[in-house]
Amino acid sequence: MLNLPKSVVHVPLIQCRGCCTSKTVNRFAKQSRGHTSITRPFEVIHVDVCGPFDQPKAHDNARYFLTIVDRVSRFVTAIPLARKSETSTMIKSFLSKSYTDLRASHFPKQLRSDNGSEILNDNLKEFLIDKGIDLRLTHPHSSAENGIAERMHRTLQDKARTQMAHGNIPPIFWSEAIRYAAFLLNWTPRVNLKNKAPIHLWHATDSLTCPTLYPFGCTAFVTIPLELRTNKLAPNALECVYLGPDIQRTGHRFFSYDLMKVFGSDQALFRPNEFYFLNVCESYHETSNQS
C-alpha cells in the first residue's frame, strides 16, 4: 500500500482483499482436552487410516493400515487392511478386546478420528453410543487436529522403511514391517513417558518382559514338525525369512519360499547377522559374474 501516513505502522491482513486471498495460511488450534483431566490409559483413543499402498499390495493384500494410539501411554496398534470398509469392524474389535484384556471398568471416554466415511458408518456409531464413547471428528482437510495419530503414521512408516532397506526386503512385506515397527515402539522406553515403555503404562505394570527379538528380514531355520517330514533323510528345518513376533500367539512369523506362505512357529534357529534377501542378491550377482 502506498501513501500511508507515517503513523500507520501495521495494516491488518483483513483490510487487504489481495492479501486475504493470497497469504492466508492454515492455523491449527491446540487440541482441546475437555474439562476432564486425562491421566489414565484407555480414556482417549486416537485412530486414523493410512494409505493406499498400491505399488505393490502387501502379500496379505493389505492396501491400508489402521493406526490406533492411546493418548496417555502412547501404546500403538497397527492393523493392515485390504479395504477401508474394514476400519469400523477393527476399531470395535480393538475396543472390546482392550476392555477385556485390561480388565477396564469402563470403555474410553472419547474416540478421536478424521471425518472419513469409514469411521462414520451407522454400525460403529451405534457401538460408540451403546458404550458411552464420545466420537470427536476433525474438520474436513484438517488432519493436524488428530496430530497424535498423524505423527504416529510417519513414525511407523519411517521405522518400517528403515527395516526393509536394511535387509533388502521386497515391498510386498510392508504390512509385516509396519506390525513389527508398532511392536518395537511399544517396548521402547521414552523420555516423555518418564523412561517407561508404552506397553508398561498401557497394562499398568512393570512386570511384563520383552521377548527375544531379531532383526527384521534375518535368516531363520524353522523346525519342520515330525508329521510333516516326507522321509527320514529329509531336512529337519526350512530356511525362512524372519518377519517379527507373532502378536496373536507364542512364537514368531516367518516367510518360506519353499511353501510360498507366511506362517507362525515357536521352533526356530536364528542367524541375526545374516539377511535372507541380501544373500539371495549376492548369490545372484556371483552367478551372473561367473557366467
pLDDT at 143: 55
Q: Which residue has the cell 487392511?
A: 81
Could you give the 3-state DSSP secondary structure of residue 255?
strand
Cell digits of residue 274:
545374516
- pLDDT in tens for each of the 291 residues of the chain? 455 555 555 556 555 654 554 445 555 455 554 445 788 999 999 999 999 998 778 999 999 999 999 999 999 999 999 999 999 999 999 999 999 999 999 999 999 988 666 677 888 999 999 999 999 987 655 555 568 889 999 999 999 999 999 999 999 999 999 999 999 999 999 999 999 999 999 999 999 999 899 999 999 999 988 776 777 777 789 999 999 999 888 899 999 998 899 999 999 999 999 999 987 655 534 444 444
Domain 44-202: CATH superfamily is Ribonuclease H-like superfamily/Ribonuclease H (3.30.420.10)
Report DSSP state, residue 224.
P
**Residue 90 — φ and ψ, nearest 5°?**
-70, -35
Give CA 28 to chain center in angstroms. 24
pLDDT at 99: 97
pLDDT at 18: 46
Find all residues with CB under 8 Å of 150, minimum gap 6, and list them.
48, 143, 144
The CA R_g of the chain, rounded to the nearest whole Å, is 24
Q: Which residue has the cell 493406499?
A: 52
pLDDT at 15: 59
Strands (E), the chain: 44-50, 64-70, 76-81, 110-113, 134-137, 218-223, 237-245, 252-256, 261-265, 268-275
- DSSP symbols for 129-186: HHHTPEEEEPPTT-GGGGHHHHHHHHHHHHHHHHHHHHTT--GGGHHHHHHHHHHHHH
Ranges of CATH 3.30.420.10 domains, the chain: 44-202
> What spatial distance separates the first Cα and last Cα of the chain, rounded to whole Å?
74
Which run of H or E residues covers position 91? helix 87-101
pLDDT at 20: 54
Q: How many CB atoms lie within 10 A of CB 74?
A: 21
Q: Which of 138, 171, 153, 147 is nearest to 58 (CA)?
A: 171
pLDDT at 290: 47
Distance, in Å, from the CA atom of 50 to the CA atom of 136, rounded to the nearest integer, reads 19
pLDDT at 286: 47
Distance, in Å, from the CA atom of 201 to the CA atom of 198, rounded to the nearest integer, reads 5
Q: Which residue has the cell 527375544?
A: 212
Distance, in Å, from the CA atom of 186 to the CA atom of 167, rounded to the nearest integer, reads 22
Distance, in Å, from the CA atom of 197 to the CA atom of 188, rounded to the nearest integer, reads 5
Distance, in Å, from the CA atom of 91 to the CA atom of 250, rounded to the nearest integer, reads 24
